[in-house]
Amino acid sequence: MSLFKARDWWSTVLGEKEEFDQGCLCLADVDNSGNGQDKIIVGSFMGYLRIFNPHPVKTGDGAQAEDLLLEVHLRDPILQVEVGKFVSGTEMLHLAVLHSRKLCVYSVSGTLGNVEHGNQYQIKLMYEHNLQRTACNMTYGTFGDVKGRDLICIQSMDGMLMVFEQESYAFGRFLPGSLLPGPLAYSSRTDSFITVSSCRQVESYKYQVLAFATDADKRQETEQQKLGSGKRLVVDWTLNIGEQALDICIVSFNQSASSIFVLGERNFFCLKDNGQIRFMKKLDCSPSSFLPYCSVSEGTINTLIGNHNKMLHIYQDVTLKWATQLSHIPVAVRVGCLHDLKGVIVTLSDDGHLQCSYLGTDPSLFQAPKVESRELNYEELDKELKELQKLIKDVNKSQGVWPMTEKEDDLKVSALVSSNFDSVSQAPDVEVGTDLVPSVTVKVTLQNRVALQKAKLSVYVQPPLVLTCDQFTFEFMAPEMTKTVAFSVYLKGSYTPPELEGNAVVSYSRPTGIPRVIQCKFRLPLKLICLPGQPSKTASHKLTIDTNKSPVSLLSLFPGFANQSEDDQVNVMGFRFLGGSRVTLLASKTSQRYRIQSEQFEDLWLITNELIIRLKEYFEKQGIKDFSCSFSGSVPLQEYFELIDHHFELRINGEKLEELLSERAVQFRAIQRRLLTRFKDKTPAPLQHLDTLLDGTYKQVIALADAVEENQDNLFQAFIRLRSATHLVILLIGLWQKLSADQVAILEAAFLPLQQDTQELGWEETVDAAVSHLLKTCLSKSSKEQALTLGSQLDVPKDTSRLKKHITLLCDRLAKGGRLCLSTDAAAPPTMVMPGGCAPIPESDLEERSVEQESTELFTNHKHLIAETPMPEVPSLQGVAE
């Protein structure tokens, strides 16, 4: 952590969404002004070239318009910018710009301005070289000890060094064994090029050796090279540093000594001219850029190192002298003289944050002002307070602090379900058994008051119901516009959905930018999944619903399900789902009861729920408001538990099948490796029936994959059936104990927490945690039970016995007077007075057995066998070595 932050002298942000790298920053007197003041030259990958001359009025100012001397779009990405004596016949400084396929040299000049807008700067192209290979980076210097001019060396992406003697191309050489290009630098004292190869070693090549080596027009060695004619390119010295290098810099103490600095991924190295290590330093953080420069102390060198923690460290040799905090991650750092201020640190980030800063601290000159002692006029303050309170009250009356009604006025959503089926079913070749699947059209209308952009409509129905289209996007809706979309719904599966209710959700943003969500629910007709059928006199599962009004004719309740073959359907009516299962509804002639019966327990839910809804609608039309339903029978928990066991068994089967599939896949890959080794062997060996093992294992993998898919389909259907049965059990408990709507909502939240069942988070462990929470809070008997804590992690249980006992105990406590609530006050032990007492939560097997014996008197058990799904046996192949 830094003690001091870098003092911001001048900063700016370059462009929008532009990218920069370490070669994109350069400091030099590029316009040859002769006053010793550097200019900041920046090039971007977007092709923009900018030249700055900062003149902040005070420290920390941002960029002014006159600070930008020049901005030119060069079209091609700029990889690197350098300033040197690149034009023949003159020793003036010129700007070299490296593109991926081109090298351009410009002269930068300024024209003295006659008005307040200041001087005008322009660039002029002196010459350019079109490159035959894609460039990576470049360096320049007095190659071959030439005087008064600089030569340029460009490294290509495939490891070729191309040397340009100003306006002419000199030669090109391939570096031996080059795979990926590395950083490149030129040492004038030894007249050699320094780079780091992909072998993670520093390599030095003499310029004279490069110049006299065989030409590298082609990368492959020719026959003459093999015979020895011409000179091969030989490395001068190498040093293995064991890591990839980010940058190389060369600093000279004097004419007799120089140092080669290499910045690695974890260390930075200082080497002598002959490749020996002078010193190295292990870095604590991942570096991003560095810059060595001569120190004021004799024989030492200072190094600026920026890292990815937005820090800038200053080392003197290997000693950390200063650490400062930056506002960005520097990918390039330079030091120059700007506006007569020497030693300004210029940093550039990859997203264009350009900052000029200096080290040190600013003294705090703040002094707390003296407080003027004056007497307070309480009468004036009281009058002002009353005026403000009146103003606040008027504002609240007129619009409110949070205008909640506006979200409904902005957009209104309504859904209309067609009363008739589509003339042509939209179900694409879907048949359930022998029945043709109908489809019904739903229209959703959006009416907006204000302009809306990118409103999204999402529609959801319960599987196996599917939609022809479930996503709609409205890019722009003008004020007072009405949009209507239509889609069809049909059944795709041989089982019934848990609900016939659909949901349309619209998400949009108000003109102020606040996101809003509006939903609209619609109910699909029962005839979409059900047909008239023959009533059945016998059934395995029966339910009786009591009412407080005289029985209603079933023909008036279900007019669309009248069977033409039956003469009298006033008291009995049959339903046949598209999957084939049948449900019979009977109305008592003498008592106020209705009976629903079916061969499958979960099929009772939809008809029972539809009966109660239609009875309420019928009596509301008659003007009768005191209609109510009740359930006086025993809650069919045993049938419900059988569905839970079946669902859990399929989950366990799925885990076992996936484990077997993983084992067979490992076995298959092991055989493949064995076969590959045999085929690659120069002396072929017998296969020893490995090909037979490979074929057999492949067939087993395919069979197991099919079994996993089949089990997933069965598990999905079992989960849908379990949801239907759960809805039915919640409905019966609500009618049995006359629970309020809030209490029924708590039960639904506890028993129906998931829309989709997965192996990682299943229904059993989620419901067990929710029911346990209810038993230990609002249905607890004592504060001791409330102090018990639940586990924070949900794991797949070993079996369903604990869940079934908790559900039984929940019903038992509701039967003894317990009530569901979420408030902590209502859940306190003093307010829970249960007639007959409540059994505590069983914490041992002995207590659980006693609770189970007590609950058997209250809930009768109707046991029906459910066929178990056997897991396919897959033989194992032994003796296959990895």
Strand partners, 110: 121
Neighbour count for residue 256 (Cβ, 10 Å): 7
**What is the pLDDT, as a whole number, of residue 287?**
94
**Burial state string for 553-579 with b = 16 or more CB within 10 A and e = fewer than 16:** ebeebbeebeeeeeeebebbbbbbbbb
Joined tokens for residue 251? 């600093």
Residue pair 107/153 in contact (Cβ under 8 Å)? The answer is: no
Joined tokens for residue 448? 């907006």
CA 715-719-725 angle, 5° bins: 140
Joined tokens for residue 216? 């590298």
CA 53 to chain centre: 43
Neighbour count for residue 104 (Cβ, 10 Å): 19
**What is the pLDDT, as a whole number, of residue 704?**
94
CA 723-726-732 angle, 5° bins: 145
- Cis ω on the peptide bond leading into residue 464 (within 30° of 0)? yes
Joined tokens for residue 687? 């296969």
Can you tell me the distance from the alpha carbon of 688 to that of 679, in angstroms, rounded to the nearest whole number?
13
Q: Going by C-beta distance under 8 Å and a sequence separation of 6 or more, which residues neighbour residue 265?
A: 243, 244, 246, 286, 287
Length of the chain as a residue count: 882
The DSSP-derived string for 382-448 is HHHHHHHHHHHHHHHHHT-SS-TTHHHHHEEEEEEEEEEE-SS--SSS-EETTEEPPEEEEEEEEEE
**What is the pLDDT, as a whole number, of residue 782?**
67
Q: Tell me the pairing of strands 4-5 and 319-325.
A: parallel
Q: Going by C-beta distance under 8 Å and a sequence separation of 6 or more, which residues neighbour residue 777?
A: 786, 827
Residue 33 DSSP SS3: coil
First to last CA, the chain: 50
Residue with tokens 């006992």: 805
Joined tokens for residue 481? 């516009």
Per run of 10 residues, the mean pLDDT along the chain (length 882 residues) is 70 90 92 87 94 80 80 92 92 93 92 66 92 94 89 93 92 88 92 92 92 64 40 86 93 76 93 90 92 76 91 90 90 90 91 88 63 76 91 70 50 90 80 74 89 87 90 84 90 87 89 83 90 85 90 85 61 85 88 90 90 90 88 89 92 92 93 85 77 91 94 91 92 90 90 78 88 86 60 79 91 86 51 35 40 43 36 37 34
CA 8 to chain centre: 36
The 3-state secondary structure of 579-617 reads CCCEEEEEECCCCCEEEEEECCHHHHHHHHHHHHHHHHH
Neighbour count for residue 833 (Cβ, 10 Å): 8
CA 721-724-729 angle, 5° bins: 125
Residue 859: exposure state from Cβ atoms within 10 A (0-12, 13-18, ≥19): middle
**What is the pLDDT, as a whole number, of residue 391?**
87
Residue pair 324/333 in contact (Cβ under 8 Å)? The answer is: no
pTM: 0.51
Residue pair 146/121 in contact (Cβ under 8 Å)? The answer is: no
The DSSP-derived string for 262-330 is EEESSEEEEE-TTS-EEEEEE-SS-EEEEEEEE-SSTT-EEEEEEETTSEEEEEETTEEEEEEE-SS-E
The DSSP-derived string for 145-203 is G-SS--EEEEEETTSEEEEEETTEEEEEEEPTT--S---EEEETTTTEEEEE-TTSEEE
